[in-house]
Amino acid sequence: MSEKYGKLQQQFLCCYPVNKMAWSSVKLPLNWDEQQELLAATCGHPMNRRHPVRRSYLEAFLKQLMHLLKDQEDVHDDIYSRLCGGLGEGKGSGSGSGSGTSYAYKHYLISPGAHITLRECNSFVSEGTTGLCTWEAALALADYVLQHRDLVSGKNIVELGAGAGLVGILLKLPGLELKTGQVLLTDGSEPCVQLMRENIALNFHNTPVEEMPQAEQLDWDAVAEFPWKSHADTDLLLAADVIYDDSQFDALLGALDYFYTRRGGQLETLLASTVRNVDTLHKFMTLLGLHGYKVTPCANVSACASHFCRDHTAAVQIISIRR
Ligand SMILES: C[S@@+](CC[C@H](N)C(=O)[O-])C[C@H]1O[C@@H](n2cnc3c(N)ncnc32)[C@H](O)[C@@H]1O
């Protein structure tokens, strides 16, 4: 696969905003073969042909490419034909689930030999949840885990509010060899749990069940009723972008109290939050203190060390919680 267009490829496959893509890596003019190479690295990539990104994203990408080539005499026919709907390959571009919700795929290229394909909802809020797509805080948490592999190695891990499943899937991805113990992805929303299971199936072909993450429905209010006996003791809790609605704070703290009452000092929680409203985050931090938790801020992974295409200007706060 094209080295020359590697960054654009990584960005295209995970639907990184078209106006922020590494277009400066494209040295103009592009001859016919180079245009073909660029298309093969992006829309023609086998992952995209099998599980396409959303149609509106593809169109925005192709329009930007045509704009880039506007001063050239030769613009490859494939650019026009793909833009005019000639794609016709693969399945599920903008496809519905039968519920009227529209879904498409994103591919997160993490390192050579390690990538995650996720089916995600095309809207930020759908079916009564915000969890059917991947949020910035999940990417930041995934980056943090990849930089601190010792934090997850040998640990039995539960993810709360796991949404589409990126972090939990990454923890068990064979190509990354993170050597985690049992990984349980949970969410209170049933559509999220269905989507996580679908995404687990997409990423773990021919993998023995015990080597795969599991996904179960878990509402923070009902943590005590969950059949924990059939799961290993939890060493690490993870959660990304779950601090935005203060009506859920009591439930989340109740869930944390439940875990820490069982595991005490053996348990650590890593919580990644996008800083949208400082007051909301501050309120949660105050409640953590009142519940007897010690909070340690963790350094975010810098843009140059990041394994993901993400917006490093968006403030994401990662904290470690212990009691
Ligand atoms: C903004 S999404 C974040 C999803 C994912 N962690 C990410 O960062 O991409 C918040 C998630 O928390 C879940 N959630 C919210 N309140 C919950 C509760 N009381 N119990 C369990 N899950 C809850 C939602 O269903 C949703 O999937």
Q: Over pLDDT 70: what percentage of the chain?
A: 95
Residues 231-288 have pLDDT tens digits of: 999 999 999 999 999 999 999 999 999 999 999 999 999 999 999 999 999 999 999 9
Q: What is the pLDDT at residue 81?
A: 92
Ligand 1: does its nearest atom lie under 6 Å from the Cβ of 220?
A: yes
* Sign of the dihedral through C-alpha 62, 67, 70, 72: negative
Q: Lowest-pLDDT range, 10-14, 128-132, 233-237, 319-323? A: 128-132
Q: What is the pLDDT at residue 92?
A: 44
Ligand 1: does its nearest atom lie under 6 Å from the Cβ of 192?
A: yes
According to DSSP, the residues that pair with 118 across neighbouring strands are 106
- Give the separation between CA 228 and CA 224, rounded to whole angstroms: 8
Q: What is the pLDDT at residue 264?
A: 94
Q: What is the pLDDT at residue 125?
A: 87
pLDDT over 70 at 99, yes or no: no
> What count of residues does the chain have?
323
Q: Which of these, 295, 303, 296, 298, lies nearest to 317 by C-alpha position? A: 298
pLDDT over 70 at 91, yes or no: no
Residues 179-225 have pLDDT tens digits of: 999 999 999 999 999 999 999 999 999 999 999 999 999 999 999 99
Q: What angle do CA 253, 256, 259 make, to 5 degrees?
A: 155
Candidate CATH numbers 3.40.50.150, 3.40.50.2300, 3.10.20.30, 1.10.3720.10; the one for domain 100-322 = 3.40.50.150
Are 90 and 49 in contact, with CB atoms under 8 Å apart? yes
H or E stretch at 139:
helix 136-147
174 preceded by a cis bond (ω within 30 of 0): no
Q: Over pLDDT 90: what percentage of the chain?
A: 89
* Sign of the dihedral through C-alpha 92, 97, 102, 104: negative
Phi and psi dihedrals of 260, rounded to 5?
A: -70, -30
Ligand 1: does its nearest atom lie under 6 Å from the Cβ of 38?
A: no
Domain boundaries, the chain: 6-86, 100-322
CA 131 to centroid of ligand 1, rounded, Å? 5
- Give the separation between CA 191 and CA 188, rounded to whole angstroms: 9
CA 283 to centroid of ligand 1, rounded, Å? 18
pLDDT over 90 at 131, yes or no: yes
Specify the residue with its C-alpha closest to ligand 1, atom 4: 163
Ligand 1 mutation pick, 187, 197, 275, 316, max ligand atoms within 8 A of CB:
187
Q: What angle do CA 4, 7, 12 make, to 5 degrees?
A: 115
Q: Which of these, 9, 213, 36, lies nearest to 109 by C-alpha position? A: 9
Ligand 1: does its nearest atom lie under 6 Å from the Cβ of 134?
A: yes
Ligand 1: does its nearest atom lie under 6 Å from the Cβ of 131?
A: yes
Beta-sheet pairing, 268-274 with 316-322: antiparallel
CA 4 to centroid of ligand 1, rounded, Å? 38
CA 242 to centroid of ligand 1, rounded, Å? 5
Q: What is the DSSP letter of 230?
A: G
